[in-house]
């Protein structure tokens, strides 16, 4: 394993786990999990795309270590993030003889991580979970921090649980097989960290456009490391999103979830919706007198240079506004937005002026 990095996630109350990041981590799964999986029953949950690339290797490598290792593959994509998939996976877990001492491995992107995490959180009232993210988005965000769950027809991530993994194993080499569009989606979440929490990191991304556009794995390793450090710090200070700090990670997401829902989850994927959502949130922040035009323009330039969308077709502002009706960030009927104050700082604001919200959306509708 080359240049491996360890990032500690030390939660209050003694819950502690490690993120291991480095080229070749996927070849080292048995040695990196031996202490947890020895003689246990293990179920790997993945999706069909990831299975074809990495499934058999992971399965075979764990067979000598675990008492029994099984693998179940689901259909790729957000449409799988349902309670029906979860129920199917409970039955598979029983067929694979999982018990309370068993473990689930989530091998895949954020969809697999969120579903497998929720199954681990609820099967037999909670069993061990290892996250092995294979998309950039999952490496920089969803595999760390313990948010798990599924969508309902009424909206995204409306059912879920906080369930921290026991370990996160990240191999940036897996990005080499990831479609370019999915790389861009992960980049949207990395820009999010810079825009609301870390100005230095934002400037680093601006400086590395060419390396990022040419998939330079060393640069991506740096990016993943910094995002995991930021996320670990946030999660350790506000694990259950109570103080407002973790809400920063929802920057752009109130709009993004509405866009995904209004487009039936099949026009833009999550990261693209987040990119447009961040543009809408920055518009709102400018209109509300919080953010200056220059900072908004820096965000837009960075998104464009990394080939991410800053506007959405197919939808009217009213469509998007109406789709925000079931967002988890609505408290006592008021919409709450994470708004940047400057690059690297944010505030959490209730905005009740519908016209102002519609204007912020309208600027990003083609
Ligand atoms: P995804 O899991 O759908 O993966 C995207 C596509 O890439 C899929 O088709 C998948 O099969 C494929 N793929 C995965 N790894 C690959 C690889 N190495 N090579 C080739 N193909 C590969 O999408 P995503 O963007 O990873 O995750 C989006 C989901 O994550 C959304 O449901 C979102 O709500 C959730 N999310 C959760 C959190 C959290 O904190 N839990 C944070 C952000 C996003
Ligand atoms: N991605 C949002 C969070 O983990 O809180």
Residue 213 pLDDT: 98
| β pairing state of 103-108 and 41-47 | parallel
Q: Which ligand is nearest to the CA of 110?
A: 1
Q: How far apart are CA 343 and CA 296, in angstroms?
A: 9
Range 141-155 average pLDDT: 95
Query: Is residue 89 over pLDDT 90?
Result: yes
Residue 327 pLDDT: 63
Kindly give, in sequence order, each residue whose CB lies less than 8 Å from that of residue 159, ignoring residues fewer than 6 positions away: 83, 118, 149, 150, 151, 152
Closest ligand 2 atom to residue 231 Cα is 4
Query: Is residue 328 over pLDDT 70?
Result: no
Q: Is 189 in the pocket of ligand 2 (CB under 6 A)?
A: no
Residue 267 pLDDT: 86
Range 323-348 average pLDDT: 83
Class at the top of the CATH hierarchy for domain 181-362: mainly alpha
Residue 325 pLDDT: 79
Distance 227 CA to ligand 2 centre (A): 12
Q: How far apart are CA 115 and CA 138, in angstroms?
A: 13
| β pairing state of 68-74 and 103-108 | unpaired
Query: Is residue 271 over pLDDT 70?
Result: yes
* pTM metric for this prediction: 0.95
Residue 281 pLDDT: 98
Residue 2 pLDDT: 55
Closest ligand 1 atom to residue 186 Cα is 25
Range 247-267 average pLDDT: 92
* Better-scored residue on pLDDT, 1 or 305: 305
Q: Which tens digits make up the pLDDT trace of 190-209? A: 999 999 999 999 999 999 99
Per cent of the chain over pLDDT 70 is 97
Q: Hey, which of 231, 238, 273 would you mutate to test ligand 2's pocket, going by the most ligand atoms within 8 Å of its Cβ? A: 231
Q: Is 78 in the pocket of ligand 1 (CB under 6 A)?
A: yes
Class at the top of the CATH hierarchy for domain 2-177: alpha beta
Show me where the domains of the chain are located: 2-177, 181-362
Q: Which of 253, 137, 231, 132 is nearest to 184 (CA)?
A: 137
Q: In the structure, what pLDDT confidence band is assigned to residue 154 with cuts at 50, 70 and 90?
A: confident
Q: How far apart are CA 18 and CA 9, in angstroms?
A: 6
Q: Which tens digits make up the pLDDT trace of 61-88? A: 999 998 899 999 999 999 999 999 999 9
Q: Which tens digits make up the pLDDT trace of 225-237? A: 999 999 999 999 9
User: Over the range 33-55, which residues count as b (16 or more CB within 10 Å of their CB) and which as e?
Assistant: beeebeebbbbbbbbebbbeebb
Q: Which of 263-277, 325-339, 347-361 has the lowest mean pLDDT?
A: 325-339
Closest ligand 2 atom to residue 146 Cα is 4
Check for a shared fold between 2-177 and 181-362.
no
Q: Is 146 in the pocket of ligand 2 (CB under 6 A)?
A: no
Q: Is 147 in the pocket of ligand 1 (CB under 6 A)?
A: yes
Residue 314 pLDDT: 83
Residue 3 pLDDT: 56
Q: Hey, which of 106, 138, 161 would you mutate to test ligand 1's pocket, going by the most ligand atoms within 8 Å of its Cβ? A: 138
Q: In the structure, what pLDDT confidence band is assigned to residue 352 with cuts at 50, 70 and 90?
A: confident
Residues marked as catalytic: 125, 147, 189, 231, 241, 246, 250, 253, 257, 270
CA distances from 161 to 43, 132, 240, 338 (A): 20, 19, 10, 22
Q: In the structure, what pLDDT confidence band is assigned to residue 265 with cuts at 50, 70 and 90?
A: confident
Distance 188 CA to ligand 2 centre (A): 13
Residue 290 pLDDT: 95
User: Left if phi > 0, otherwise alpha if psi is -120 to 50, otherwise beta: which for 265?
Assistant: left
């Amino acid at each position: 394993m080359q240049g491996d990095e360890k990032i500690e996630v030390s939660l209050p109350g003694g819950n502690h786990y490690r993120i291991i990041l480095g080229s070749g981590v996927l070849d080292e799964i048995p040695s990196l999990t031996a202490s947890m999986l020895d003689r246990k029953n293990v179920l790997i949950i993945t999706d069909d795309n990831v299975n074809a690339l990495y499934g058999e290797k992971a399965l075979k490598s764990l067979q000598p270590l675990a008492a029994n290792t099984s693998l179940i593959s689901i259909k790729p994509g957000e449409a799988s993030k349902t309670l029906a998939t979860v129920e199917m996976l409970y039955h598979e877990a029983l067929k694979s003889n999982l018990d309370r001492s068993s473990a689930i491995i989530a091998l895949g992107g954020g969809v697999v991580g969120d579903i497998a995490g929720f199954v681990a959180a609820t099967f037999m009232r909670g069993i061990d979970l290892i996250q092995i993210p294979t998309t950039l988005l999952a490496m920089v965000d969803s595999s760390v921090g313990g948010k798990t769950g599924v969508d309902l027809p009424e909206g995204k991530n409306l059912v879920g649980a906080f369930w921290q993994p026991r370990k996160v194993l990240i191999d940036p080499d897996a990005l080499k097989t990831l479609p370019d569009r999915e790389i861009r989606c992960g980049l949207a979440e990395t820009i999010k960290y810079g825009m609301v929490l870390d100005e230095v990191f934002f400037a680093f991304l601006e400086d590395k456009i060419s390396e990022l556009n040419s998939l330079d794995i060393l640069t991506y390793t740096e990016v993943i490391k910094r995002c995991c450090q930021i996320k670990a710090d946030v999660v350790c200070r506000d694990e259950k999103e109570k103080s407002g700090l973790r809400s920063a990670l929802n920057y752009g997401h109130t709009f993004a979830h509405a866009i995904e829902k209004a487009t039936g989850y099949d026009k833009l994927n999550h990261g693209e919706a987040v990119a447009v959502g961040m543009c809408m949130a920055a518009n709102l922040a400018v209109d509300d007198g919080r953010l200056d035009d220059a900072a908004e323009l820096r965000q837009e330039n960075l998104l464009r240079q990394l080939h991410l969308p800053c506007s959405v077709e197919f939808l009217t502002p009213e469509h998007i506004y109406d789709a925000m009706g079931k967002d988890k960030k609505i408290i006592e009927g008021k919409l709450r937005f994470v708004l940047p104050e400057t690059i690297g700082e944010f505030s959490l604001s209730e905005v009740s002026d519908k016209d102002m919200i519609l204007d912020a959306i309208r600027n990003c509708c083609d």
